[in-house]
Amino acid sequence: MTVGERLLELIAGPGAALFGVPGGQTLPLYAASRAAALRHVVTRDERNAVTAADAFARLTGAVGVCDATVGPGATNLVSGLAEAQASSIPVVALVADTRRDAEHLRRHSVASQSFEQSETLAPVTKWVGRVHESAALDEVVDQALRVATAGRPGPVVVSIPEDIFLGSADPSRPRSIADRDRRFPRHRPHPEPELVEAVAARIKTAERPVILAGGGVVFSGAALALSALAEGCSLPVVTSLNGKGAIDERNRLSAGVVGGFGSQRGNLVVQAADLIVAVGTKHSQLGTHGWRLPSAGQTVVHADVDATEIGRAIPAHIGVVADARSFCLSLAEALEGWQLPAAPWIDAIRPAEESAGDGDVVHPADVVGALDRLLGPDDVLVCEASLSSGWAARYFRVKRAGPGMLAPRGLAGLGWAPGAALGARLARPQGRVVALTGDGGWGYGLIETETACRYGLDITTVVLNNSSLAWIRHVESRMKMPYSTDFTDVDFVATARAMGAAGRRVERAGGVEATIAEALETPGPSVVEAIVSPEATPIVSYGAVRRAAYG
């Protein structure tokens, strides 16, 4: 048995998919996956392989797996692993490394393509494990899966020297890895009963309690439990951007997203609440308007699986260390038979959202509004970082409890969506997968259109083309600086067709929905380019929220 074959047995559970770019050192893994007829997607760039593994994990609840060769292959993983680390997503990166007898020649790449890659990858992962001998392969992979899925999930690296990767497996110290060992969360810590009772007491005496659900609710599989808690007690729910899907957003208890990429209503509900029960959220800067919402005068309960996160960014009056699902189930039991005494208090908070477009010009809100109407509960919207995810947070509704919209709001780096859409498609073979991106983010990974064509993956990409890095352009405008982020016009429809995909362009508001609908019905990869203004922004300022509340 080769090391590649043994790796595959250890890492690949039912329905698994691998994403990577092969190198000479990692070819045994590719040979093994080909022989096993495993879905091993060869991407055009390792950066897109790791984001594909990330999205696969978010949608399946199983560890995502990517691979890369030594040196440049390893460095290309850094941004994607950093996003997975910041968003608490378990990814295992199988990375080739310098052969053991050339360790002393690593520095300055005397040994071909070598450098201190473990030290480079360590800050963006939970653990880097190096296989120093073939017999230790099982133990290192077993530990990697344990670290990735236990506690606060996150990415890990299994580093395999070239001479081990190209050699035979050593079965002398085998480990048995069950499918449950490849899923997350690995354990579900239960909350202390007295703390649950204290939270329940606070809720019963509050006039305007609200649940604030973060990405930890969605990605730990707690959405159904949280939805049942909310509906059983008539508790309103707001979410962070990554928390979208904690509840069906068509539910009358759903009040929208809080933060700079949120809705007016979501922000106003949190501002008006006298008790915020935050579950599975880290209270990020963008999601709290620079840690000003919740405010110092509000009572905050914070439940999270990571004890070090509780009270770190926003002070908590009660902190509960627990898995999100365990906490929601326990709190529902403590509140059994109790409901808020009237209709949801959020019914009185219904601000008028900004009008979408002006005349016949395509507005990003028109595009996302069309996607909201066209996509159903079984479909997935994959968003790029920057303004694309802001438009979706505000105008797109996830139509069932669970992950239905993905966005890289951990590190929030451009270039996440092209690879993530590949991973989402393999994770969700049923339903439709749509990627929403801007031309800035699309420029990082549009080459993966060829990958989607090569594998026959039915993905629709909608590009909001404003020929600029619009967020930076807005900052330059506020600072009265000259624009440095405008691009020349690029015909993304032509690039899509050149790689084998269908391509459509829409330049008038009246044609947006019909054009996207046609693309969704077209088999195989399709790109829709919507020409929009760089002046449009989904950002909700804290000042605007305050003015809306107090005039």
Residue 359 has pLDDT above 90, yes or no: no
In whole angstroms, what is the distance from residue 451 CA to residue 461 CA?
13
pLDDT of 358: 62
The fraction of the chain above a pLDDT of 70, given in percent, is: 99
| 56-112: pLDDT as tens digits | 999 999 999 999 999 999 999 999 999 999 999 999 999 999 999 999 999 999 999
- In the predicted model, what is the mean pLDDT of residues 444-452? 97
In whole angstroms, what is the distance from residue 142 CA to residue 129 CA?
10
Mean pLDDT of all residues belonging to the chain: 95
- In the predicted model, what is the mean pLDDT of residues 199-204? 98
Domain 364-531 has CATH 3.40.50.970: yes
| 211-233: pLDDT as tens digits | 999 999 999 999 999 999 999 99
183: phi then psi, degrees, rounded to nearest 5: -110, 160
pLDDT of 357: 59
pLDDT of 353: 66
Q: Give residue 355's pLDDT band: very low, low, confident or very high (50, 70, 90).
A: low
| 129-175: pLDDT as tens digits | 999 999 999 999 999 999 999 999 999 999 999 999 999 999 999 99
279 close to 285: Cβ distance less than 8 angstroms: no
pLDDT of 485: 87
How many alpha carbons lie under 13 Å from residue 207 in its C-beta half-sphere? 3
Residue 551 has pLDDT above 70, yes or no: no
Instruction: Considering the domain delimited by 193-348, tell me its CATH architecture.
Output: 3-Layer(aba) Sandwich (3.40)
Domain spanning 3-182 has what CATH number?
3.40.50.970
In whole angstroms, what is the distance from residue 447 CA to residue 208 CA?
49
| 478-489: pLDDT as tens digits | 899 998 989 999
Which residue ranges does the chain devote to CATH 3.40.50.1220? 193-348
Which residue ranges does the chain devote to CATH 3.40.50.970? 3-182, 364-531
Alpha helices in 479-534 (DSSP H): 492-498, 512-521
How many alpha carbons lie under 13 Å from residue 126 in its C-beta half-sphere? 24
Q: Residue 230 corresponds to which tokens in the numbers above?
A: 């909310």
Residue 427 has pLDDT above 90, yes or no: yes
Spatial CB neighbours of 479, under 8 Å, sequence gap ≥ 6:
none
**Is this model's pTM higher than 0.75 or not?**
yes
